[in-house]
Amino acid sequence: MNCEVCQLKELEVEHFEIREVLRCILHTIVFHRALGLVRPKDVDLELFEITYVQCGDVELEKKIDEKIDQFISWVEKHPNKKSQICLSFYEVKSKQPSWFTNKTERLYWEQWYVNLNVTQQPKQHSSKSHHTKVVVDPGESANEERSSRRAMVEASLREVLFQIIKFVNEKKDHVPPISEGVIYFPYEITMPRKFQ
Amino acid sequence: MEMDRESGKLEQIVSQFRSKILHVVLDSRVPSLHRHQQQDSLSLSRVRKTDKWFNLVLGDRPPALENLNFSLRNLLDPMVIDIILVRHASYSSSVDNLYAPSAAAAGPSTETVIERWVVQYDCPRVFATPSGAEAAVSYKKIYKKCIVLLRSLYTQMRLLPAYRIFRQLSSLNQTYNFDIVYKVSSFSHPFSREEEDGMKEYNFAPVEALPGCLCVSVIYHATLSDFNLEPLVSLPPKIITDYVGSPTTDPMRSFPSSERGAHATSFPFRGLRPPSSAPFQRPHSWSSGFHRGIPPTKTQSLAGSPPVYRTSPKPYDITPPPTDLYGNRIQNHRVSTLQQATAYDEYKLSPPFSPSASPSTPTYLSGANPLLTRHCSETAPVTIPLPPTGRSNRYLSPNSSDPSRHSLPPLSPRSSKHDTSSQESPSGIRSYRKIEALRAGESPSGLSNLYSAPKVVRDSKDDSGRFSGLLSSSGSPRIGFSRSSSRLSFQDDMDDCEFSCPFDVDDVDVSDSSSQNTENKRASEFTAQSNLIGKKSQDAAVGILVHMLRTAPPLRQDSSCYSTRSLRTEYEGGVGIASGFFMPRKTADALEELNSYREMKDLLLSKSGTQVVRKEGMK
């Protein structure tokens, strides 16, 4: 079986945006791969005017949050670096049992790479002069810059979500059959490569 | 036989697929249908047969959907779902327009198709149906692919621009100058070139469903910012300088409402004879303000208040009560609103609008007033001009402009709501003070924001959208939540306000200096609540009655109670009795009081119009 790979568009985010962005992307992907009976749960982002959908599984939500925490810890130790988080779906196949091994094998049939470039917001310098002239208010320009930056991130995030929708629509043949009683396919979240 | 069964399966998949898409689209675009779903909390927990289709639990299908499904039985015809934005012209600020049954003041509405979803099963005329095991595998694949497509459609519904305005409309604490309606048909009028400008198209990858394929596409406006969609602005609060109660106004001014036959109803106050046996025509603010034809005052003028559409010919007459259906619904809703404030916060965030991990409201729904500000009736902040000058004149007449009243807590909603010349004393009923506090910033007339009351009540009844062809759904072609529910909420607000409990003043500061004020307020409340009894919600009425009974003074003769009771009887008599400050209580008085309670209870529970209750003579 083919393993379909989707490299999502890189997002430039700040540290405090990581959690929301990753939650949005990872849950959106999983929602499209949770083909069992789900009661969709709409979640509004706080930082952006985007609503994404979760499949409503508490366990899944917890696991995703744990992985995001790990990712954030790594990012804190390696600031200003590009990083990836990989969401993979697999099937469990049991190997030929032998005297020595009785392992099961994971056959990955789909992998999603979420590419993030975590930046630090540069500090604003006061533009006061020594002669106490009219001070250009740094706060206002910083706010404008912040809001335009926020809008850009929101637009990029929206693009990523559309990218996910496009991918899941175009490639359906590789998706395994749905098992009875299973809500979502087995998955794993890894941080495969950390590169500058 | 086998071929029939197999083709039946395919037909079933296609049919259910279309129904599911319709459900998803309408649930994410039409506020009334969505609220219909939200209301039934039980429905959210259980899984229906329809939910199991494509493993997507959406809850009950609105009845309109069932009709639509029935009408679009030919699966080979496309299903075209138009999401239509209805923009209302700006309204006149005259209060007259609110009462006018015609929609003349509303102005023309503009309708624009902002989204068009097309679902079609493309099938060649001649085809070979797969059979046997091949067919079974085929149907499973088809089904799986349909599930994936529905997932992505569900996600995409939330990313398109129309979702935002849907959320705005769905919010309970704001009204807007637009509506969203829908039209489902099996054909579509092509867009003009103008309409096509600014529209984008997205085609979902077709699902092979041999012998044909299922195709879903959407054409949508890429941006809705050109449509000038905005919330309706309420008037800022205004101080009513000539408010009744001020020494400068004429307390006995008559109002047109009295000419229309509405009479105040007063309750017998412990057997004391009222000052006059004539129908009590004290011009209360609540009696006048709810009639049609009241000349709009400055303070009552409204800018941009919505509803000139009304489904009932007499929305605001006191005499005819609302229909039982609406009345009951509103009553129940109002009670639940007032009593379960936090429940509405939860409602707003309940699935499918679950909060994110940190429990804050969605950013683009924020900025509105707290939910309760829209659920309760209106009052204006009024100045309380003068400190009390003395107590002896306090109970001379309920109509007296007693300066001492001005030291009381803020006015009850009814007293300030509709008529600035109302005689209502600023009895500051505590139970409504909370309402007033929550409604900071509302218009003085109290009308404009009444239409922003919860829309849930009426919508499911009023909704239908528009249908072409053979569709048999009834109802107006508009989903007029703002019109219908606003009217009902307005009435319900009236109900709640009008029936202020005279004993609510127990909540007022119980210090000695204010206890007499309390009693005065009680008596005035007694009188004040007379006019709109008929409209009182049943539950609230019972609640008020219970409260009254709880806070009523004991029947037994107790010297500690003399002072308060005697003051009340003094007021009820309407005679300035300076002496007799302490009056022994008799059994007859108690019996009288009991009878009065009974009468009040009957009056509350009845839903008829205004009743004139003669004050019984003091025995």
B474-516 residue pLDDT tens: 444 443 334 444 444 444 444 444 444 433 444 444 444 444 5
Closest of B548, B588, B590 to residue B565, by C-alpha: B590
pLDDT band per the 50, 70, 90 thresholds, residue B149: very high
B359 touches chain A (CB under 8 A): no
CB-closest option in B151, B159, B352 to A162: B159
CB-closest option in B57, B164, B205 to A38: B57
Distance CA B258, CA B252 (A): 12
Residue B479 CB partners (closer than 8 Å, separation 6+): B30, B31, B32, B179, B180, B181, B459, B462, B463, B464, B465
For A:136-175, CB contacts with B below 8 A are 158, 161-162, 164-165, 168-170, 172, 175
Residue B568 CB partners (closer than 8 Å, separation 6+): B269, B270, B519, B522, B523
Task: Compare B119 and B393 and report the one with higher pLDDT.
Answer: B119
pLDDT band per the 50, 70, 90 thresholds, residue B566: very low
The DSSP result for A35-104, as a single string, is -SSB--EEEE-SSSS-EEEE---HHHHHHHHHHHHHHHHHHHHSTT-EEEEEEEEEEEEEPPP-SS---E
pLDDT in tens, B392-416: 444 444 444 444 444 444 444 444 4
Q: What are the C-alpha distances in Å from B385 to residues B239, B242, B343, B408, B445?
A: 11, 11, 38, 11, 20
Name the pTM for this structure.
0.54
A135 touches chain B (CB under 8 A): no
Nearest chain B residue to A164, by CA: B152
pLDDT band per the 50, 70, 90 thresholds, residue B564: very low
Whose structure tokens read 């985010």? A13
pLDDT in tens, B240-287: 777 776 566 565 655 555 444 444 444 444 444 444 444 444 544 444
CA B607 to chain centre: 19
> What's the pLDDT at A45?
94
The whole-number average pLDDT for the span B173-192 is 84
> What's the pLDDT at A151?
92
Cβ contact A42–B148 (<8 Å): no
Strand pairing partners for B200?
Answer: B220
User: Residue B118 above 90 pLDDT?
Assistant: yes
Residue type for position B205: A
Q: How many CB atoms lie within 10 A of CB B536?
A: 28
> What's the pLDDT at B70?
62
Q: Are the beta carbons of B101 and B314 closer than 8 angstroms? A: no
Strand pairing partners for A106?
Answer: A92
Cβ contact B356–A20 (<8 Å): yes
**CB-defined contacts A:B, below 8 A:** 113
Task: Compare B428 and B546 and report the one with higher pLDDT.
Answer: B546
Answer positive or negative: Cα dihedral of B128, B129, B135, B138. positive
Q: Are the beta carbons of B470 and B403 closer than 8 angstroms? A: no
Closest of B524, B552, B581 to residue B404, by C-alpha: B524
Residue A57 CB partners (closer than 8 Å, separation 6+): A34, A38, A183, A184
R_g over Cα of chain A: 21
pLDDT band per the 50, 70, 90 thresholds, residue A40: very high
User: Distance, in angstroms, between B159 CA and closest chain A CA?
Assistant: 7
> What's the pLDDT at A134?
53
The whole-number average pLDDT for the span B52-57 is 90
CA A181 to chain centre: 27
Query: Which one of A20, A44, A160 would you mutate to disrupt binding with B, by most B Cβ within 10 Å of its Cβ?
Result: A44
Task: Compare B177 and A85 and report the one with higher pLDDT.
Answer: A85
User: Residue B558 above 60 pLDDT?
Assistant: no
User: Distance, in angstroms, between B404 CA and closest chain A CA?
Assistant: 50
Cβ contact A161–B159 (<8 Å): yes
Q: Are the beta carbons of B534 and B606 closer than 8 angstroms? A: yes
pLDDT in tens, A154-189: 999 999 999 999 999 999 889 998 888 888 899 999
Query: Which one of A43, A66, A150 would you mutate to disrupt binding with B, by most B Cβ within 10 Å of its Cβ?
Result: A43
A38 touches chain B (CB under 8 A): yes
Distance CA A135, CA A119 (A): 28
pLDDT in tens, B574-611: 444 444 445 566 788 899 999 999 999 999 998 776 55
User: Residue A52 above 80 pLDDT?
Assistant: yes
Structure tokens at B120: 């079609």
Helices (H), strands (E): how many in chain B? 22, 8
CA B558 to chain centre: 45
B358 touches chain A (CB under 8 A): yes
CB-closest option in A20, A35, A41 to B55: A35
Nearest chain A residue to B357, by CA: A43
B154 touches chain A (CB under 8 A): yes
Structure tokens at B195: 């309409």
pLDDT band per the 50, 70, 90 thresholds, residue B233: low
pLDDT band per the 50, 70, 90 thresholds, residue B531: low
The whole-number average pLDDT for the span B285-308 is 42
Q: Are the beta carbons of B380 and B442 closer than 8 angstroms? A: yes
The whole-number average pLDDT for the span A111-130 is 70
Distance CA B380, CA B446 (A): 7
| Range with top average pLDDT, B30-34, B381-385, B418-422 | B30-34
Distance CA B220, CA B114 (A): 6
In chain A, which residues have their Cβ closer than 8 Å to the Cβ of B148?
A: 32, 35, 168-169, 172, 175
> What's the pLDDT at B277?
47
> What's the pLDDT at A101?
61
Q: Are the beta carbons of B529 and B500 closer than 8 angstroms? A: yes
Distance CA B61, CA B64 (A): 8
Q: How many CB atoms lie within 10 A of CB B253?
A: 14
In chain A, which residues have their Cβ closer than 8 Å to the Cβ of B58?
A: 40
Q: What percent of chain B has pLDDT over 90?
A: 14
In chain B, which residues have their Cβ closer than 8 Å to the Cβ of A42?
A: 158, 351-354
In chain B, which residues have their Cβ closer than 8 Å to the Cβ of A60?
A: none
Task: Compare B321 and A9 and report the one with higher pLDDT.
Answer: A9
pLDDT band per the 50, 70, 90 thresholds, residue B364: very low
pLDDT in tens, A14-32: 999 999 999 999 999 999 9
Task: Compare B316 and A72 and report the one with higher pLDDT.
Answer: A72
In chain A, which residues have their Cβ closer than 8 Å to the Cβ of B363?
A: 44-49
Q: Are the beta carbons of B159 and B54 closer than 8 angstroms? A: no
B131 touches chain A (CB under 8 A): no
In chain A, which residues have their Cβ closer than 8 Å to the Cβ of B362?
A: 44-46, 49, 51
CA B133 to chain centre: 57
User: Distance, in angstroms, between B66 CA and closest chain A CA?
Assistant: 21
The whole-number average pLDDT for the span B172-194 is 84
In chain B, which residues have their Cβ closer than 8 Å to the Cβ of A170?
A: 205
Distance CA B280, CA B290 (A): 17
Cis peptide before A186 (omega within 30 of 0): no
A149: exposed, middle or buried (Cβ count in 10 Å: 0-12, 13-18, 19+): middle
> What's the pLDDT at B370?
41
Q: Are the beta carbons of B71 and B35 closer than 8 angstroms? A: no
Distance CA B569, CA B520 (A): 10
User: Distance, in angstroms, between A64 CA and closest chain B CA?
Assistant: 12
The DSSP result for A85-120, as a single string, is EEEEEEEEEEPPP-SS---EEEEEEEEEEEEEEEE-
The whole-number average pLDDT for the span B443-463 is 41
> What's the pLDDT at A97?
63
Task: Compare A28 and B473 and report the one with higher pLDDT.
Answer: A28
Task: Compare B556 and B488 and report the one with higher pLDDT.
Answer: B556
Q: Are the beta carbons of B423 and B245 closer than 8 angstroms? A: yes
> What's the pLDDT at B147?
94
B74 touches chain A (CB under 8 A): no
pLDDT in tens, B405-447: 444 444 444 444 444 444 444 444 444 444 444 444 444 444 3
Q: Are the beta carbons of B288 and B294 closer than 8 angstroms? A: yes
Q: What is the mean pLDDT of chain B?
A: 61
Cβ contact B362–A51 (<8 Å): yes
In chain A, which residues have their Cβ closer than 8 Å to the Cβ of B152?
A: 32, 165, 168-169
The DSSP result for B433-496, as a single string, is HHHHHHTTT--SSS-GGGGGS-SHHHHHHH---EE-TT----S-SS--HHHHHHHHHHHHHHHH
Task: Compare B67 and B27 and report the one with higher pLDDT.
Answer: B27
A87 touches chain B (CB under 8 A): no
Which ranges in B299-410 belong to alpha helices (H)? 324-339, 341-349, 371-375
Beta strand A4-7 with A104-119: parallel, antiparallel or unpaired? Answer: parallel
Query: Which one of B27, B158, B349 would you mutate to disrupt binding with A, by most A Cβ within 10 Å of its Cβ?
Result: B158
Q: How many CB atoms lie within 10 A of CB A16?
A: 10
